[in-house]
Amino acid sequence: MKAFYAEEQKRHDPKTFLSSGAAKLNPEKPERIGRLLAGALSAGCTIERPRNHGLGPVAAVHTPEYLDFLEHIYARWQRIEGASEEVIPNIHPIARNGSYPASAVGQAGYHMADTACPISGETWQSALWSAWSAIEATEAVMAGAPAAYALCRPPGHHAFADVAGGFCFINNSAVAAQVLRKQAARVAVLDVDLHHGNGTQGIFYARPDVLTVSLHADPVRFYPFFWGHADERGEGAGLGYNFNLPLPRKSADAAFLEALEVAFQRIRAFSPDALVVALGLDAFEGDPFGGLSVTTPGFSRIGETIAKLGLPTVIVQEGGYLCDELGDNLTAFLTAFGGKAR
């Protein structure tokens, strides 16, 4: 199986992170890439560099003002006397029905959901290359590969059309789904990350052509808190095309696989032409976030059951943080999916 990744994705190196108000080191570190690359190689993947795909496919799911913000906010921020090194919001609109602010500080609050996505001088390029890896994997699948893996980092599934959040800037899974739509009438996005794929849900919430399904730790007491509940089913023409399966904290393999079967029933009923897997590995029992308790053999089973759907599949890396087994968990998923065989 082909895997895609560009060196530029390593440059984004966020420092700031607040956890329950306490300043901590940001866990979305560039070192994740080395572990994930090793995991993909162990699964038999060949690693290729994506091409520059420009802004078009990214702009298909993000607003012009948001992309302009991501590209230029760091330079603007540096001109504020006494400002932090990284762009971090300190004010947010209560509701986004007021005016669009002109100031860098106001726009940071408008376009950034939380403090987990600080923007440095390298963020824009790293996020773009991450999206281009997703696009390249998508094009490989559109050209006939049964599956392809995009080593996307920074990740994407918490990014809305015009809001960054939770380590995410450009929604790589949404970009992949939208590119697939050129060929596929119906696309399903299956998000197995520990955290609800709120950005992906938001982007496709009113659309019936992209089914969004997410399994995750119950947000009633877990990030992203405000989204991911079972009663969020879509709106307008998209009503019924969003499906959330929140799981109790510390749910292990059996509960996860059981929920996955429920997800498959919805996906089969939708009858998609292609699938995007938003592959977070942070549901792992040893992940620093500690929200769910999936094991390494569990990721093999998850991969095997998803592969059995038999759909052309783009696998997009989402979360999964530094722990000894991070690479092994990726190997388990990709190998089960056919890493060596394909």
Smallest gap from Cβ 294 to Zn ion, in A, equals: 12
In the complex with Zn ion, the residue whose CB is nearer, 197 or 238, is 197
Catalytic residue among 158, 195, 196, 216: 158
CA atoms within 13 A on the CB side of 305: 21
Smallest gap from Cβ 282 to Zn ion, in A, equals: 4
Pick one of 165, 234, 319, 339: the residue that binds Zn ion (CB under 5 A).
Answer: 319
Burial class, 341, CB count within 10 angstroms (exposed 0-12 / middle 13-18 / buried 19+): exposed
Looking only at residues 269 through 298 of this chain, which bind Zn ion when binding is defined by CB under 5 A? 280, 282
Pick one of 28, 136, 193, 287: the residue that binds Zn ion (CB under 5 A).
Answer: 193
Whether 158 sits among the annotated catalytic residues: the reply is yes
Number of residues that bind Zn ion (CB under 5 A): 6
In the complex with Zn ion, the residue whose CB is nearer, 104 or 192, is 192
Distance CA 251, CA 58 (A): 35
In the complex with Zn ion, the residue whose CB is nearer, 246 or 280, is 280
What contacts 88, CB < 8 A, 6 or more positions away? Answer: 16, 108, 112, 115, 118
Answer yes or no whether residue 154 interacts with Zn ion by CB under 5 A: no
Instruction: Give the torsion sign (CA, 320, 199, 147, 140).
Output: negative
Burial class, 342, CB count within 10 angstroms (exposed 0-12 / middle 13-18 / buried 19+): middle
End-to-end CA distance of the chain: 5
Smallest gap from Cβ 208 to Zn ion, in A, equals: 27
Per CB under 5 A, which region of 168-176, 198-206, 255-263, 318-326 contacts Zn ion? 318-326
Active site residues per annotation: 158
Residues that bind Zn ion (CB under 5 A): 193-195, 280, 282, 319
